[in-house]
Chains A and B, each alone.
Chain A
Amino acid sequence: MAVIRDVMPAFQLLQPTTVADAQSLLQQHADDVWVLAGGLDSFDWLKDRIRKPGTVVDLSGVDELKGIRETSDGLEIGAMTTLTEIAQHPVVKQKYGVLSQAAELVASPQIRNQGTIGGNLSQDTRCWYYRAGWPCYRAGGNICYADTPVGRNREHAILHAERCVAVNVSDTAPALIALDAKFVIRSTNGERVVDAEDYFIGPDIDITRLHILQPGDLLTAIRVPSTWAGAEFYFEKVRDRNVWDFPLMNVASALKLSGNNIQQIRIAVNGAAARPLRLRASEDVARGKERTVSTGETAGNLAVQGAVPLQFNAYKVPLMRNLVKRSITGVQQEATWAS
């Protein structure tokens, strides 16, 4: 049967106003349901008729999933909070700057106004073969079209590829890993809380998903502990265009210094693998060291150990090495004219 794209098929749209209602709707329609947050990932799939759920549960009316609350131990951010709100929130900006920076660099202003933190974290990969609806591993098939002798894989993975070489392109994920955030997941069995880095999975574990949500699960909130409040942060996103672009790679770090000595550090990178990578080896080697270029370089070199570049993405190896270095040393001021 012939294929047509860009015309949204019909579905039943359900718009609950509470999490409990949303969950019972998800259960009722468990076989054939799609959860809609900001819609920026979902509508692509729906409009292209690649995913044709019978029912879409739209969370945009669930007020309890929105907003940023200060808690005794940091912040709780509702999963449906927009990226704009996070980027502009005074407490986020002041104490958890790495998150506001990351949110601010997502896509474009229009997309940030509509896109949510939950959606940004749970979004699917942008591998253009997968997105074109080709029956690759991630789509349930038996091939990776990007990792072939002629595959076009400039934006694909250099680490932890397992059959599928797609990458996770969330900008906020590495920032939240650096902040040691916890993700609150509600399912029919109740609520569980996982570490940010454990929310994401690679193709070795499940080749069809980028996160651990099971059918019926909802990511309801992000808890940012106060542990890293006011720490030194670094966030950088490298992309082809200065707006409306996914990262070729991004890096987020949080450091606590004593003088120039690195007391505590967390670093995460995204765009290198199918999940955002927490760089424990780089952290370990930097911890207790002076914050110098040499420490940064050592950490950078460790970060790319085991990297396997594809035909067109070898640049990602020096890119990751340099970004990790900069996440420790920072970057010098822009060049200025003599006068």
Chain B
Amino acid sequence: MPKSDSPASGSERKYGAKYKLIGKDYQTADLYAKVTGQAKYAEDFRADGMLFCKLLLSPVPHGRVKHLDTRAALAMPGVKAILTADDLPAPADSLSDLGAVIKANPRGERALTNEPLYQGEPVLAVAAVDEFTAAEAIEKIDIEFEPLPFVLDPLDSLRPEGPNPRVEGNIWVQQPPPPRKPGEPPAGPPPPDVGNLKWTSEDFKDVDSGKLPMGKTPDEWTVGDIQQGFKNAVLVLDESFVTPDTSHQTLETRSALAYWQNGKVYIHTGTQSTVQTVPALARWLHMDASDVVLISEYTGGGFGSKVTAAITAIIPALLAKKTNSPVMMRISREEETFIGRGRPSLLGRYKVGFAKDGRITAVDMFVICNTGPYDAVGDAPTSGRIVSLLYQPPAMRWRGVTVMTNTPPRGAQSSPGGMQGIVMMETVMQKAGRKLAMDQVAIRRINCPEGKADFGPEMHGKRTHSTSCFIKDALDRGAEQFRWNERLANKPKQVGSKVHGVGVSLSCFYGGSTGYDGLFVIKPNGRVAIQSGIGNLGTESVIDCHRVVAEVLGVPWEKCDLTWGNTAQNLPWTCISGGSQTTHAMTRAAYAAALDAKQKLQEIAAKTYGGKPEHYQVANERVFRKGGGAGMTLAQAAQHAIKLGGKYDGHEPPDDVNKYTKASVAALAGQGLVGVGKDKFAHDGSSMSFVATFAEVEVDRETGKYNIVDFLAYADVGTVIHPRALGGQVLGRSTLGIGHAIGQKWVFDPHYGEMVSRRFYQSKPPTILDLPVDMQWAALDIPDPETPVGARGIGEPPVGGGCASILNALADAIGDDVFQRAPVNADTILTSLEAGRPMQQPFTAHI
């Protein structure tokens, strides 16, 4: 393979030219504990008198408990209590930020159930002195289920006489909220109803020929004139494709420890979002949020499955209350497979028109999403918006339906919907490039967005747009670094049974939100105590975002102390760490708090030395008169702040911050100069991040086995905050996407409705040896104009590119008619090559 000697690959490049800290590598405060094993994850904690609990899982994909006798189990020595669905608090309503009441969905997921809707759903929990006893007790429980009809495959449920996953039907129907009454907060939407959607036999007539049926859908939108678009096309492709269901497979399962002290519940569990997990736990427990404390210093991965921890975390909390002892619930790998969420499979059919120059003239996109038995995930609608942004069709129709099935509940998984939408669109682009005899980079370049690019449906007569987009540059620089043209020109001929293929893919996803709070205290000793409400989910954003504070105040990073991972320790209101919003949202919040502190420092200096605040500047741990002269250290300023009191030391928090932040500020008041601020910076558009991905594969046509030879992801994520962490995200999430291409999946037995791929070795997440030795990444480092620090999130976008670039490289090597679904393995490749035509059963779920 050609060696890349220029330009410098991502890990070697220098970022953050105009900053001291931003764009520089450094050792994060949690690193030592993580690599030495000192880091304590939820299940590493022990408490005096701690009990353990184990779960009884449903053996049926849908049924009702018709007989339950726990006497023999309870009679066992060491068994302390049993918790069933009947012991759970009623689902609680919640409040939106605007004060609207969001009614609880009475049919929503609960921690335990008497009517399991998927095999593996927790039915009851036993607390005992140890896990061994709890397990023995579960085996002594006499329980019988009345099996009810079930369905695994959304297409089966949509057939005219198809089975329903719930007694009432197969889709959610959401009524709009009632009109707002004057003078009252807006009314929240009512809980969704379950509807029953069936298509006609006519809709299904082409299913066996590999065409996805397209019946009536509850949701659709159109922009532009697609009929005209197709008329203007020289090439119209109509392709169907299926993406896999995949577990999040976090290495830390959703174990939880809980205990009660003075009416407050303390829960240790892994979560992506420290602060925002509290209201979720409070809602599930039907308690006041101020009585819930979450401890989560380290989280062993989330990928969207632990945005606000897991509802099962309330099981040990309720058992702890019942037994008056701390209760630990360790979740096994098999249990995690059932309750640990998964990415929904999308079945898609894309009709795409292309002009002679490769420009897309129209997209007619149709998707079916398998959401599992509970709340509808947003993957289907998101897939349409992302495709409309990434390929900029002048006319587009999107139609979609999200269908319930009796398979484990889905959740957002890195680039939810975006990944699936892009992967399916990319296979169409690959085909179009070949049919139009265009270079694959060129056909993407001519269609990709630029700058403030419109996308999605019209809302109130307007479409939203990206805050900025430089993916063309990423494509160009990536192609150069990957030596795309050279590879095409020198692609080796087939040697023996081995063939090579190269692939490129565009990808993007949402990369940021706004409106959260930053909080820190400059202590009288001159150190800066930064409060981080971000979850430590492995991305390092929990720490990275706060580099902004040190950068703005001119404080060496070594003088910053970070508090994170415990909601009893006065944290600011923080975004959820989901949808890659953290870096964007929390660098803004940190910037707001830093500006607040700067302003206070200047005011204190002005008060002390005279003049106006703007006459003073903050740098090198000092505030001093511009151009030299009077000034004081930050330590001195902190002492002044305490003397001054009021807003300076936190006794008067700003009005605009969240009430949660206000409570934290009140608790910290008097300790020093409090920097606190809400992100109110201007922001025009949706913050979107982009990646151009390149891959080369080598396929053995005799065995169907293929290897990824080379890989490059080139990111457009705004300002680079922490290169090493960014590289970890770009390549790590690319790997998540690669897993979808090369083998990760769920497999069910359709007769019993049970998952048979329950363990790692059966569901096959990718391993390190499936990746090329020298995976490459790079970032443009062009600041986003719509955010003060210029940084956006990166967690999601690489996933679609990781999957699609591999599939495209495969198609380049063995033909784009070999597969109609992912993952693609030896079985698909060999049978299709053997038969000389696609041999995958296109819409059979879960093989």
Contact = CB atoms under 8 A, between A and B. Distances in A.
B196 interface: no
A322 B702 contact: yes
A150 B749 contact: yes
A333 interface: yes
Interface string B740-771: 00110001111110101110111010111110
A239 B493 CA distance: 25
Residue with the greatest number of chain B CB neighbours at <10 A, chosen from A49, A129, A150, A318: A318
B175 interface: no
Contacts of B495: 332-336
Nearest to B828: A315
A236 B705 CA distance: 12
Contact of B770 (A150, A241, A323, A333): A241
Given A2-B141, A6-B333, A243-B767, A238 B705 contact: yes
A145 B831 contact: no
Contacts of A150: 749-751
A323 B751 contact: no
A9 interface: yes
Nearest to B757: A128
Interface in B17-42: none
Interface in A62-114: 108
B494 interface: yes
Nearest to A10: B132
Contacts, number: 162
Interface stretch (B266-274, B289-297, B405-413, B496-504): B496-504
B846 interface: yes
Interface in A303-339: 312-315, 317-319, 322-323, 325-326, 331-339
B490 interface: yes
B496 A333 contact: yes
Interface stretch (A15-23, A201-209, A244-252, A279-287): A244-252
B426 interface: no
Counting chain B residues whose Cβ lies within 8 A of the other chain, the interface size class is 35 or more
The secondary-structure label for the interface of chain B is mixed
B197 to A, nearest CB: 24
Interface in B641-691: none
Nearest to B72: A1
Q: Which of A6, A9, A334 has the most CB of B within 10 A?
A: A6
Q: Which residue among A244, A248, A317, A335 has the maximum number of chain B CB atoms within 10 Å of its CB? A: A335
A325 B834 CA distance: 16
Interface string B33-56: 000000000000000000000111
Contacts of B749: 129, 145, 150-152
Contacts of A241: 742-743, 764, 766-767, 769-770
B497 A240 contact: no
B496 A2 contact: no
A127 B831 CA distance: 22
A312 B830 contact: no
B750 A244 contact: no
Contacts of A151: 749, 751
Given A241-B766, A338-B492, A7 B135 contact: yes
A154 interface: yes
Interface in B58-73: 59
B2 A337 contact: yes
Contacts of A240: 742-743, 764, 825-826
A332 B497 contact: yes
A199 to B, nearest CB: 25
A128 B745 CA distance: 14
A245 B140 contact: no
Contacts of A246: 761
A192 interface: no
B764 A335 contact: no
A188 interface: no
Contacts of B752: 145
A260 interface: no
A151 B702 CA distance: 26
Contacts of B93: none
A315 B834 contact: yes
Interface of B: 1-2, 54-57, 59, 131-132, 134-136, 138-143, 332-335, 490, 492-500, 698, 702-705, 707, 742-743, 747-752, 754, 756-758, 760-762, 764, 766-770, 825-831, 833-834, 839, 846-847
Interface of A: 1-10, 49, 108, 126, 128-129, 132, 145, 148, 150-152, 154, 236, 238-246, 248, 312-315, 317-319, 322-323, 325-326, 331-339
27 contacts: A2-B141, A4-B54, A9-B132, A128-B756, A128-B762, A145-B749, A145-B751, A145-B752, A152-B748, A152-B846, A236-B703, A240-B742, A240-B764, A242-B769, A244-B761, A314-B831, A314-B839, A315-B828, A315-B830, A331-B497, A331-B702, A332-B496, A333-B496, A334-B498, A335-B499, A336-B492, A336-B495
Given A154-B847, A314-B834, 15 more contacts: A3-B139, A145-B752, A238-B704, A238-B826, A240-B743, A240-B826, A241-B769, A242-B707, A243-B770, A246-B761, A248-B826, A315-B828, A323-B702, A332-B498, A336-B492
Q: Which A-B residue pairs are the 5 nearest by beta carbons?
A: A332-B496, A6-B332, A7-B135, A322-B702, A315-B830
